[in-house]
């Protein structure tokens, strides 16, 4: 399992670089990220969150958690002007949930783990999730869209949750 960086860790603000070649090392990272995402009960994970600053996202929105998707060097283009709210969470901001508005339909252009082209129009949770993950690759965290007060509360909450998890880990 890979350690997930917690907000407000400044490393989460690093801009991810494009992947030049899908090496064996990157394939291992993809496997490790998918395992880490499932363990953390996430439906998406960006490489930035595990302190690897390359343009790589893994996602799995399936019921049985058995169909992971890999997006390398992704480019997301909104297909509608209208934005819709969604109650977002983030594995780097544990136990904090709040409403974020995003375009509900986007185009995803990327490469998959075999270097094959992906070019899809998606909507709903998949569109929300890919935009949330793209933000991570650009050093943006969903709490950035909230009020300063909510950002302060989020920082306090993460500090508390991490302390409890560290205590549990020690027992
Ligand atoms: O990038 C992450 O931290 C994983 C995110 C992905 C996500 C955020 C907002 C909306 C959808 C997906 C989540 O922690 S995964 C946990 C989760 C699961 C279902 C719905 C919302 C959040
Ligand atoms: Zn996140």
ipTM above 0.90, yes or no: yes
Under the banding of pLDDT at 50, 70 and 90, the label for residue 171 is low
Q: Using alpha carbons only, what angle is made at residue 85 by residues 106 and 161, rounded to the nearest 5 degrees?
A: 110
**82 annotated active-site:** no
- Report field, pTM of the whole predicted structure over 0.90: yes
Q: What is the mean pLDDT of residues 84-96?
A: 98
Nearest alpha carbon, ligand 1 atom 11: 129
**Mean pLDDT in residue range 143-155:** 98
The residues facing 118 across adjacent strands are 110
Over residues 2-32, the pLDDT tens digits come to 999 999 999 999 999 999 999 999 999 999 9
Average pLDDT for residues 134-163, to the nearest whole number? 98
- Cα separations (Å) of 82 from 53, 79, 85, 104? 31, 9, 10, 7
The residue to mutate among 85, 88, 100, having the most atoms of ligand 1 within 8 angstroms of its beta carbon, is: 88
């Amino acid at each position: 399992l890979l350690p997930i960086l917690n907000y407000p860790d400044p490393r989460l603000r690093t801009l991810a670089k494009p992947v030049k070649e899908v090496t064996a090392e990157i394939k291992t990272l993809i496997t490790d990220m998918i395992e880490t995402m499932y363990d953390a009960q996430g439906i998406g994970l960006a490489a930035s969150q595990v302190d690897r600053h390359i343009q790589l996202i893994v996602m799995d929105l399936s019921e049985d958690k058995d169909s992971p998707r890999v997006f390398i060097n992704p480019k997301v283009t909104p297909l509608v002007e209208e934005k819709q709210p969604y109650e977002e969470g983030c594995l780097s901001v544990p136990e904090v949930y709040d409403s974020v508005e995003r375009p509900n339909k986007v185009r995803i252009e990327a490469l998959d783990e075999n270097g094959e082209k992906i070019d899809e129009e998606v909507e709903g949770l998949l569109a929300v999730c890919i935009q949330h993950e793209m933000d991570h690759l650009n050093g943006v965290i969903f709490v950035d869209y909230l009020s300063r007060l909510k950002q302060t509360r989020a920082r306090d909450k993460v500090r508390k949750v991490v302390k409890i998890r560290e205590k549990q880990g020690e027992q």
